[in-house]
Amino acid sequence: MLIRKKDVKKLSEDVRKIIDGQEIDLRDNREGPWSVLKNDIHTLANLKNEQMNTLKQEHEFMQETLANISHQLKTPLTSMMIMADLLESAPKDKQKDFLTNIKKELNHTQWLVAALLKMAKLDAGAIEFTYEPNSARNLILLALEPLQILLDIKNQQVEILDETILFCDKKWTAEALTNVIKNASEHSPNDSVIKIQIGSNPICKWISISDEGPGISKTKVKQIFKRFEGARSDKGHGIGLPLSLAIMKGQEGDIEVQSKEGHQGATFVLKFYNTKNEAYHNR
């Protein structure tokens, strides 16, 4: 097959345009090695464009994430700096209040930084989940350990109903449960009960956490799992629930929210699909 010089020149010009970022369709439906070459170059150009778009999206995501992290950390740090400046000249009774508030902000900041690092690891795919059989009750008790002070302060009781075995990562699943239970505690009144039920159906095994808060509107339900945006109150950082969802998604599970605005309480259902549990039992 004879290839004309002008065709080679035209292909060279098109390749240069593609390198410069222009979209050129090189596909050729005719037969022969020349058409094969043009189609291969077209495929290569598409791969290059897809990689560039992916890199651009990752860059934009990183910029947005860093901006959000900076915003989230700025508020407690600014508050602590102001209180630290006023501490020395403040009356003794105010000094105690300032110190209490500084400790509270430090705890919030410590939790936020730890949560952000965990989220970054999940985003990067750097977490390898260890699947093993775990008692759902034991997972819940483990998740409750860091929340005992919060529950005691609000005089809240936790009821754990039923029992089952889940095939999941113990540490990370407990982390997901802690964040959901913490959310339930923060949005429930003092002297209330947080009810945790465990069950199964033909599709999945599940743990549900029900609070006695004001409920969540349908519009808000769509927002609560968006990081930095979905805090149910001004006290939240908008990272705990997204982290829990990322952990569940990483284990091929999910979280469902059942609530209506104006009705008492919201229920978060952590779902562990039976594919993982069946794979374990069939080993």
Structure tokens at 211: 């609070």
Q: Sign of torsion, CA 138 190 106 179?
A: positive
Q: What is the DSSP letter of 184?
A: H
Q: What pLDDT score was predicted for residue 238?
A: 73
Q: What are phi and psi of 107, to 5 degrees?
A: -65, -45
Q: Are 169 and 249 in contact (CB under 8 A)?
A: no
Total-model pTM: 0.69
Three-class SS of residue 259? strand
Domains in the chain, ordered, with CATH? 1-126 (1.10.287.130), 132-281 (3.30.565.10)
| Residues forming a β-bridge with 257 | 268
The position carrying tokens 């109150």 is: 233
* pLDDT at 4 (0 to 100): 77
Confidence (pLDDT) at 222: 79
In whole angstroms, give the CA distance from residue 147 to residue 150: 5
For residue 57, the model assigns a pLDDT of 78
Residues of the chain with pLDDT under 70: 1-2, 61, 65, 68-69, 71-72, 229-237, 260-263, 276-283
Structure tokens at 66: 């860093």
Burial class (CB in 10 A: 0-12, 13-18, 19+), 265: buried
The three-point CA angle 182-205-177 to 5° equals 15
pLDDT of residue 206: 96
Residue 231 is encoded by which pair of tokens?
């805090």
Q: Quick one: pLDDT at residue 111?
A: 78
pLDDT for 71 equals: 66
Q: pLDDT tens-digit profile of 88-142?
A: 788 888 888 888 888 888 887 887 788 888 888 888 788 899 999 999 999 999 9
Cβ contact 269:256 at 8 Å:
yes
Q: What is the dihedral of CA 218, 220, 225, 227, to 10 degrees?
A: 160
Say how far apart CA 43 and CA 91 lie, in whole Å. 73
Amino acid 103: pLDDT: 85
